[in-house]
Amino acid sequence: QSQLVESGGGLVQPGGSLRLTCAASEFTLDFYGVGWFRQAPGKGREGVSCISSSGGHTNYADSVKGRFTISRDNAEGTVFLQMNSLKPEDTAVYYCAAHYLGDCWNDAYDNWGQGTQVTVSS
């Protein structure tokens, strides 16, 4: 019973860009802290980026700093992950998770999406 939906994944060449969107099916993400996670085959799920419920704080994994940007559109109640300069090692299923009035990071994210596939290959 996923309440979050990720979109925007696909196949892209190294150096290309993708923009992922996280949206809630029954509510808006305004005032929710949101994290982006990814899981590659044979690997554990890792945190990629997060944004606080207020939008005032963000954080990025070292592997994506300078390349990925997390943001939110409060008018639409959505959260984005802009991914630039993509590398093959970015290939994974990307998930978003949310928690009401949550911080960045929140260990108790209680809303998760089903994930969207990102494949970076030449």
Q: Report which DSSP code applies to 110.
A: -
Residue 85: Cβ within 10 Å count = 13
Write down the pLDDT at residue 5: 96
Is 50 or 75 the better-scoring residue by pLDDT? 50
What integer best gives the mean pLDDT of the chain?
94
Compute the average pLDDT of residues 60-88: 96
Kind of pairing, strands 10-12 and 116-120?
Answer: parallel
First to last CA, the chain: 35
Amino acid 22 reads C
User: How many angstroms separate the CA atoms of 113 and 95, rounded?
Assistant: 6
- pLDDT above 70: percentage of residues in the chain: 99
Residue with tokens 């109640």: 77
Candidates 118, 77, 73; CA nearest to 94 is 118
- Torsion angle of C-alpha atoms 29, 30, 35, 40, degrees rounded to 10: 30
Confidence of residue 1 (pLDDT cuts 50, 70, 90): low
Residue with tokens 């939008």: 55
